[in-house]
Amino acid sequence: MSTVTASRLEPRASLRGPDDALPRASIGTAPMLWGNADGAPREGTDAMTILDEIARVGYEGTQLGDGFPEGAAIREALRERGLRLAEVYVPIPATVDGPAADALAIAEERLRLLHDGEGEVLCLAIDGSPDRDASAGRAGEPGTPALTDAGWESLVALIHAIADRAAALGHPVVFHPHGGTFIETPAEVERLVAATDPKRMSICLDVGHYVVGGGDPVAAIRALGDRVTHVHLKDVDPAVLVRLQTGALDGLGHAIRERVFTELGAGILDLDGVIAALAELDYAGWLIVEQDTTWAPPSESAAIGRRVLASTLRRLGTAGSPEARP
């Protein structure tokens, strides 16, 4: 191991303890934080700088970011920093009638990037659309645009087709319910889970988006059980969420610009409950600490999230259990 790589790994090692909760889980992040999902410009957001920062503040892996290299170049960049390519995200364009005609081609290209980069998980989600974005946070209300029965059938068929292609290359497929899309509410998640083959598709529970969709992430983990194989951890600012739910903000895009997603520990997410529920499952997948936008310097927010998670895992681990106390 090079001296440079060794120095990058030192903070990472100090953030994992032998008695922590979820010892089999891996901890990564999403690079959108450094670019801001709302499109606000940032300094120092070239791919190599972002990867340097992800390693420096203690993460083990990353989602593939916009502008990242592919193939051998991303493999080498990750290897130099002791990182893994945790996932590639696939935004599926759709209307109420189901996925767009080019959805499979989009997914196949994202699968290629995952495989060529020696990545792990292919993460599917419906892409945002103006009709559903306007209903985000209150999508359970009457009149909200929703998938037709034919749209549901088309979506399930697409998911299974993508999953079969990914499995042939050795990659699991998860589906990510997302605010401002046609799979947002707990009811929509339940219907998706019931309609899909558990051997072909699992769930990526983004706890922040699930809160926006009106759900309780802890209850969802317990209800879905081992269908949850991939987790995005993001906290939710309660004041911004209320403005979204009451219509004071005109959709999820506006809420993201107002920083509805905040640093772990700064919002209303029951992080202890989420980790405890995952521990009941002996969860061994990725924990992706994700924050779409930030008012602070991106690396500062990323470091806060990593350390809040480290503290939670330490506190809820075996050393902090009632049995371990004198």
Q: Which of 45, 20, 21 is nearest to 35 (CA)?
A: 45
Q: Which of 284, 276, 287, 281 is nearest to 322 (CA)?
A: 276
pLDDT in the model for residue 324: 46
Contacts of 123 (CB under 8 A, 6+ apart): 63, 87, 88, 89, 90, 173, 174, 175, 176, 204, 230
In single-letter form, the type of residue at position 217 comes to P
Give dist(CA 257, CA 129) in Å, integer.
Answer: 16
pLDDT in the model for residue 325: 39
pLDDT in the model for residue 8: 58
pLDDT in the model for residue 16: 92
- Whole-model pTM over 0.85: yes
pLDDT in the model for residue 11: 64
Residues 39 and 285 sit within 8 Å (Cβ to Cβ): no
Give dist(CA 137, CA 139) in Å, integer.
Answer: 6
Give dist(CA 193, CA 207) in Å, integer.
Answer: 16
Following DSSP, what letter does each residue of 167-217 receive, concatenated? HHTT--EEE---TTSSS-SHHHHHHHHHHS-TTT-EEEEEHHHHHHTT--H
pLDDT in the model for residue 36: 73
- Domains by residue range for the chain, with CATH: 3-13+21-320 (3.20.20.150)
Angle at alpha carbon of residue 198, lines to 163 and 226, rounded to 5°: 120
Query: What single-letter DSSP state applies at residue 320?
Result: G
pLDDT (tens place) for every residue of the chain, 326 residues total: 344 455 555 667 689 999 999 999 999 999 999 987 666 656 567 999 999 999 999 999 999 999 999 999 999 999 999 999 999 999 999 999 999 999 999 999 999 999 999 999 999 999 999 999 999 999 999 999 999 999 999 999 999 999 999 999 999 999 999 999 999 999 999 999 999 999 999 999 999 999 999 999 999 999 999 999 999 999 999 999 999 999 999 999 999 999 999 999 999 999 999 999 999 999 999 999 999 999 999 999 999 999 999 999 999 997 555 454 34
